[in-house]
Amino acid sequence: MRRLPDLPCLLLCLALPAGAVAQSLELVPERSRATIGDPITFNLTVRLRPGMELIDVSPRTLVAPPRGIRVLSADTLRPAGNGVYRGTAVIAFYRLGPQPVPTLTLLYREAVGAPPDTLLHMPVSIEITPILEAGNPQLRDIKPLQPLGGPVWAQAAGLLAAIAAGFWWLWRRGGRRRTATAVPGAVLQGPFDAALARLRELEAAARASGNGVVPLYAAVAAVVRDCLLRVGAIPHPGLTTREVGERLPDWLSTADQRGRCEAVLDEADLVKFAKVRPDHAAAGDHVARTRTLLEGWRAAAAPPAEPGEG
């Protein structure tokens, strides 16, 4: 059965002029109800008039999702012909009741060389239900507990012996590895090498396309956030710029590295939300400063030199 649109969305569509729906982004869930934590697939459809150009091929959230909502994946949109693009996104919800779906957005332009604009979809909500039924449901197929054989004191002594052995093993293990864990350089340099390689790819693609300055900023910010996530500096990439700076550990905040990190992310926010349109020279300087930041972090993550190395 086809799902009817919500009344507020229908009224808004009727109130728009005819030219306002020439391009659209539609987000439709495969189901309107789900249990808490279940991944829900959403079908995305983009429609553009002839001559329009889609800049982004992967949707992004307009703002960071609130706690209790997690975007698990967002596929690359695939052209379906006649200006139509299709893809999917998978989102999980961890709060009960009607939940708003995070607003997804894409950049497009009216014509080649025109300034970018933003596509948004109508508001969508999902009903999230608990795993167990309401009330106090009875558990089935559970047999009553049976007393274990043997004296209670013997069982308690065995349990205490096992706990003592565990503490002794942890103490010995901590003593052997105390030297290694005390050095921040134990963090592998691999994530920073991967981030620098990705940064080179983005710079080369933007230079080759000639019109990739605006999406370059969002991609560079994603590289920085993903790198910090992989080294364990932030819990998830949806933090605001200030939250990222506040959570940086000491070994990533030396020599004004926190200020450099916040400056790079702030510039990406201005391009994304304030519609700032930098030129190619500014974009090149933005990439260069990001590279310097990542190289400084990689140096801080390097293990200390062994005695005799020079």
CATH of 7-129, one of 2.60.40.2220, 2.60.40.10, 3.40.50.2300, 3.30.70.1400: 2.60.40.10
pLDDT band at 171 (very low <50, low <70, confident <90, very high): confident
Q: What percent of the chain has pLDDT over 90?
A: 34
pLDDT band at 289 (very low <50, low <70, confident <90, very high): very high
- Per-residue model confidence as pLDDT tens digits over 81-131: 898 999 999 999 999 899 999 999 988 888 888 898 988 989 999 999 987
User: Positive or negative, the Cα torsion across 87, 90, 96, 102?
Assistant: negative
Is-above-0.75 flag for pTM? no
Examine the pLDDT at 183 and tell me if it is beyond 80. no
So where are the chain's domains? 7-129, 185-301
Question: Maximum CA pair distance of the chain?
Answer: 84
- Find the mean pLDDT for residues 223-236: 91
Q: What are the two backbone dihedrals, phi and then psi, of residue 106, each rounded to the nearest 5 degrees?
A: -140, 145
Buried b (16+ CB within 10 A) or exposed e, 286-299: bbeebbebbebbbe
Question: Which of 249, 234, 258 is CA-nearest to residue 301?
Answer: 249
Q: How far apart are CA 47 and CA 77, in angstroms?
A: 12
Per-residue three-class SS string for 202-263 = HHHHHHHHCCCHHHHHHHHHHHHHHHHHHCCCCCCCCCCHHHHHHHCCHHHCHHHHHHHHHH
